[in-house]
Amino acid sequence: MGNKEHLLQQLTGVDSSKLNYYVELKKKNEEILKQNTLLEILHQLTRDINIHMTIEDILDRTFLKLPQAIPCDFLSVATLSMERLSLKAAVPSDFCTMDELPKDSYSWQVIRSKKATSFDPATSYLAQMHRKDIYPIELKSLAIAPMFVRSEVIGVLLVASFNHDAYQEAELSAIQHLADHLSISIQNSRLYTQVSRAKQEWEQTFRAVTDPIVLVDLDYNVILHNGHLPEQMRKTWEQSNSNKCYACLHGLLEPCPDCPMEEMQKTLQPQHIRIHDESGLTLDRSHYPVLTDKGQMVAMTIILKDVTEKVKMEAQLVQSAKLAAIGEMAAGVAHELNSPMTVIIGTAQLLARELAEQNVSEEIDDIINCGLRCKRIIQNLLTFSRQDQIAVSSTDLNSEVERVLSLIQYQINRNQIRIIADLDPKLPTMTANGPQIQQVLTNLLVNARDALDSLNDEEKVIHVRTHVREKDGKRWAIISVEDNGCGIEEKDLQKIFTPFFTSKDATKGTGLGLSVSLGIAQGHNGTIEVKSTPGQGSTFSLVLPETEE
């Protein structure tokens, strides 16, 4: 029996009786259970705490579990920033006032030592925390543990109890473990907040850009877009049954013929293209590769810029420069011809008086009439040359049509084209820029002449009409030019008013006539309407609202 007791004492290392041995064993079991409970709590907190939580949420969740393993009646976190240590959160939240902790506080001692320490919280320290009167019982024990992120102290964890000597080495070790876990959770929460803020700022910036931006993958699938599309393209986007960029943006069934996707995968360089959309828009389409860290292209960013108005303005500037040059030349020619024509007409009139009794008056009258006609043509050229200097005024549209026909009729007739003029005598007088109306009509007549070039055996006819249209309680003056020429293909019909678009040979057109003409019509609050059937002809109508005198 004595050998057994001796052996028992050697195995346990406890020089005591059986009773003392079981007491010591029970105490160690309790400590182990306490440590296990703490580990379970830390594990549970690790699972419960997520990056969406604030510091207050994290402390609340911790405070519910911690008293199961460690005495805890007060829990707080103080963060360090710019050499200032401030209480950021506490549980209970109304226990004390959140404030900056002074340099001589226990918390700063722990920050300098970088070691968890227990304190007897003196009244002076409690005063620094501004404990509220609704909690009359004073804290008897305080443990403070530093909170680290990559060996750098970012703050401290404060755990306090109403019990004396609540925190020994084991509790301090557990509190340090808890502080390490909370440091990681708080840092993750901060990083998530920063990333979320950066993401939100990026998305706000992305959506604030007024130009359409579309991100597509290498299979042409739309990944992201900022929602800013021109009205003409929005309908195509909404009606698309596919997520492919070519379907959403342009209503196509396969990639655009000029898509630079394959080229960009080889060169990894941005590509810029100007396109004329089916809706009549002129777009600058820029493509930028999205690269990985290894320089591999994984997506493409498309930025669309609506330059329709810009191109129209450029076209108007080009046309204005061209008209200015023509006008200057026409003015010079007109002035050079004006003087001799005056002499010719004057001399013919003198001869008519002197030879009134002889039988030559008919020939002399022909000379006078032709001279007067030439004078009118010269006057029209002068008017055309200074059209930009003329403001809107009361204008007889029928007279403007007759002036244009007198100038251009010979040029059209020599192409064996018959012009039929059907002018409504009841057409109201309009407030308009007469020379600009002439310019529009001249463009329409020249286009009609060119459309008749392809006819060989059939009679070539251009029908010029003026009439009044009443619609929705408004009256409109219409000047229409109809031809029986080749007509316009449906695919080109939406593009004919696009600056620099032309279906003619390069020697016959610049693609500016209709664009400038539409601008003039819109400047008069009107428009140009088009009806065309391929192989049968076209009708262009200048539509102007009736203006009050």
Domains and CATH numbers, the chain: 23-194 (3.30.450.40), 213-307 (3.30.450.20), 391-548 (3.30.565.10)
- Its pTM stands at 0.48
Task: Give the chain's largest Cα–Cα span.
Answer: 177
d(CA 303, CA 286): 5
d(CA 90, CA 96): 8
Return phi, psi of residue 453, to 5°. Answer: -60, -30
Confidence of residue 124 (pLDDT cuts 50, 70, 90): very low
134-147 confidence digits (pLDDT tens): 666 778 889 999 99
Q: Which of 45, 80, 249, 75 is nearest to 155 (CA)?
A: 80
Q: What pLDDT does residue 27 have?
A: 74
Cβ atoms of 424 and 398 closer than 8 Å: yes
Tokens of 531: 């009806």
Instruction: Give 141's strand partners.
Output: 161
Instruction: Give 460's strand partners.
Output: 417
Cβ atoms of 470 and 453 closer than 8 Å: no
Cβ atoms of 161 and 139 closer than 8 Å: yes
d(CA 422, CA 464): 6
Confidence of residue 288 (pLDDT cuts 50, 70, 90): very high
d(CA 44, CA 184): 15
Least confident piece of the model among 68-77, 324-333, 521-530: 324-333
Q: What pLDDT does residue 541 have?
A: 93
Cβ atoms of 424 and 480 closer than 8 Å: no
Strands of the sheet with 152-161, listed across from one edge: 84-91, 74-81, 152-161, 141-149, 117-119
Q: What pLDDT does residue 507 have?
A: 47
d(CA 55, CA 90): 9
219-276 confidence digits (pLDDT tens): 999 988 888 888 777 888 888 888 888 888 888 888 888 888 988 888 999 999 888 7
67-117 confidence digits (pLDDT tens): 888 889 899 899 888 888 888 888 888 887 767 888 888 889 899 999 999
Residue type, 8: L
Residue type, 439: Q
